[in-house]
Amino acid sequence: MKIRVDLDLCIGAGTCTVVAPKTFELDDELKVIPTKPKGNDEDTIIEAAKVFPSLHHNS
């Protein structure tokens, strides 16, 4: 799975880090960073993308 984040859309809510904490973190500017693309299972990462519109996934 390839994860791409549109940082212009990221508002720093951190929802993705709650849903998939092994995959995403927030940096010092409260922008999401995909730290481990395989940290969570694929279904969990897709769920994070659904709840946070700046995440895009390509299987």
- Say whether pTM exceeds 0.85: no
Read off the pLDDT of residues 18-45 as tens digits, 9 standing for 90 and up. Answer: 999 999 999 999 999 999 989 999 999 9
- Torsion over CA: 36, 37, 39, 44 (sign): positive
- Whether the per-residue pLDDT at 6 is higher than 90: the answer is no
Backbone φ and ψ for 12, nearest 5 degrees, come out as 75, 25
The domains located in the chain, with CATH, are: 2-58 (3.30.70.20)
Going by pLDDT thresholds of 50, 70 and 90, the confidence category of residue 50 is confident
C-alpha to C-alpha distance for 9 and 5, rounded to whole angstroms: 8
